[in-house]
Structure 1
Amino acid sequence: MTTQATLTPAKELAAKNRARFPNESAEYRQARNALLAEEIELRRHIERVAERRRQLPPGGEVTKDYRFEGENGPVALADLFGDKDTLIIYSYMFGPEREKPCPMCTSLMASWEGKVPDIEQRVALAMVARSPIERLVAAKKARGWRQLKVYSDSDGSFTRDYVSADDADVPAYTVFTRRDGTIRHFWSAEMSSEMADPGQDPRDAPDPDPLWTLLDTTPEGRGANWYPKLEYPSAG
C-alpha cells in the first residue's frame, strides 16, 4: 500500500461482502458487516504502522564486537547475518538461574520453528539466551526443534546493551541491518509493562505469536488466567 493511494472507505468495501451462513439472523449480518469494516480499518492501520517503521531514520551503529557461542562454536554478531542484509534476534528467557526455559517464549519460538525456511528467504533469524550453549541445545533437542538457531550470550554484553541494562531475564525482539558493511540497530519492540492497558497483559502490536491472534477470533478470547505450558497431559 502506498501513501498516495486513494482508498475506498472501509464501510463501502464491507458492503460488498457476499458471505452468508446458514440460519444467521439479520441482526448478526448487520453486526458482522460493521465488524468487517473495522477489520478492514485494522488491516490498513497495520500497514500504515509497518510503512512508518520502514521509514525510520538509520539507527545507532553497532560498534562493539559482540560474541556468542553457537551450536558450532564461537560467532560474532556479523556472522549471524549469513548472506542476508537484515537480522532478527529474539532474546528469550532462559537465563542460568532458570531450571527450564520460559513457557511463553517457548510457545512463541515453537510457532516460528516450522517457518524458519520461509523467514530465511528474506532475513536472518537467531535465538539468543544467557544460559550456556549446552543448555540451549539440550532444550532445543527436547522440543524436537531442528531449524531454529540458538546462541548463548555467555558474557551478557549484548543482553545488557540491547535487552536489559540490568541483565534481567526478560524477552526482547531486535532487528539489525547491514548496509555497505555497517551494522546498525533498526528497530526493537519497546512496549513495556508500564504501557499495558488496564486488564491486559503486556503485549506488542502486532503480536508476534500467532497463538494469540488465533484465540482473538474466538468468543473465549485470550482469557485472563491461562498461559502456554511446556508440557501437557497426554491425550491417551
Structure 2
Amino acid sequence: MTQSSTLTPATELAGRNRIHFPNESPAYRQARNALLAEEIELRRHIERVAAMRRGLPPGGEVSKTYRFTGEQGPATLADLFGDKDTLVVYSYMFGPQREKPCPMCTSLMAGWEGKVPDIEQRVALAMVARSPIERLKAAKAARGWTQLKVYADTDGEYTRDYVSPEDEDMPAYNVFSRRDGKIRLFYSAELSFDMSDPGQDPRGAPDPDPLWTLLDTTPEGRGADWYPKLSYD
C-alpha cells in the first residue's frame, strides 16, 4: 500500500463527497461526512494490518503428519491443500459432548458456504471439528450445505497443537502455507476473550462473520444480548 505520508488526508477525500439524500439536515450531512473520513481511515488501517500480516516471517514448520477423516475418507493436513499452496482451516465447536454444533460457528460457516467457489480460486478451505465424521456430515446436510468441506479430527492431535492444548471445544482460525516442500503455520487468529475492551463482545478484527459487519451498519448495531440460533421456529 502507498505510504500514509503520500496519501491525501481522509478529511479532504471525504470533502469530495457529493452524495445527498432527500430531506437530510445540514447536521446529518456534516456528521455523515465526518464519519466518512473515519471510514476512509479505517479502510487504510485495515490495509496496513493486512500488509503486516502478509509480511510475517515464516512461521513454525509442521513436523507431524496430522490425520483427519473427511467425507471422502482419510486425509492428512497435506492432503487438505489439494493443488493450492495456502490452506485455511477453521476449527468449529462441535465436539462429541455437544448435541448440536455451536450456533455462532454455524453462523460464520453459513456466511462462507456460498463463497466457497470464490475462495477456492485462491486458497484451500477446510472445516474441522472433533466429532466423528458422520455427525459432521449429518449437521452439514441439515443446514443444506453442499460446498464447505468438513473433516473430523478424531484423535485430537491437530486440535491439541493448533487449537487448545487442553482439547477444549473452542474455535480457531489457522492459515498454513506450503512452500519449498515445507508446510508452515502462516497465521493464526490470536485475539482471545481476555483481550476484549470493556463492554465489548469478544471478536476478531476484522470480524470474519459478515453478519456482524452488516449489523454494525444499522442503528441497533450488533447489540450485547443477541446471538444467532440454529433455527428460529
Coarse TM-score class (shorter-chain normalised): over 0.9
Provide the secondary structure at the position in 1 that maps to 2:74: strand
SS at match of 1:128: strand
1:180 CA displacement: 1.3
Deviation at 1:3, TM superposition (A): 3.5
1:202 & 1:27 partners in 2: Cα distance?
33
TM-aligned CA deviation for residue 6 of structure 1: 1.3
Q: Choose 192-201 or 55-64, whichever is displaced more.
A: 192-201
The CA deviation string for residues 175-224 of structure 1, in whole angstroms up to 9 with x for no partner, is 00000110000000001111011111111100000000000000000011
1:26: which partner in 2? 26
2:221 counterpart residue number = 221
Q: Distance in 2 between matches of 1:201 and 1:171?
A: 15
SS of aligned partner of 2:6:
coil
- Where does residue 44 of structure 1 map in the other structure? 44
Structure 1 residue ranges (4+ consecutive) displaced by more than 2 angstroms after TM superposition: 1-5
Partner of 1:152: 152
Matched, 1:191 2:221: no
2:167 corresponds in structure 1 to 167
- 2:203 is aligned to 203
**Residue 9 of structure 1 corresponds to which residue in structure 2?**
9
| Structural RMSD (CA) | 0.9
Q: CA offsets, 1:81-126, max 9 Å, x none?
A: 0000000000000000000000000000000000000000000000
Structure 2 residue ranges without an equivalent (≥5): none
Once residues 72 and 204 of structure 1 are traced to their aligned partners in structure 2, the CA distance between those partners, rounded to angstroms, is 32
Distance 1:5 1:123, change over 3 A: farther
Distance 1:141 1:57 in 2: 40
Distance in 2 (CA, whole Å) between partners of 1:116 and 1:122 is 10
Q: Which amino acid aligns with 1:50?
A: A
Q: Report matched runs for 1:77-226 at 5 Å.
A: 77-226=77-226
Q: Distance in 1 between matches of 2:138 and 2:48?
A: 41
Identity of aligned residues (%): 80
Could you state the TM-score of these two structures normalised by the residue count of structure 2? 0.99
- Secondary structure of the 1:39 match is helix
In 2: Cα distance, 1:156 partner to 1:136 partner: 15
User: When the two structures are aligned, how many residues end up with a matched partner?
Assistant: 233
Question: CA–CA distance in 1 between the matches of 2:110 and 2:102?
Answer: 12
Distance 2:21 2:201 in 1: 34
SS of alignment partner, residue 230 of structure 1: coil
Question: What one-letter code is carried by the residue in structure 2 that aligns with 1:6?
Answer: T
Amino acid at match of 1:144: G
CA distance in 2, matches of 1:75, 1:107: 26
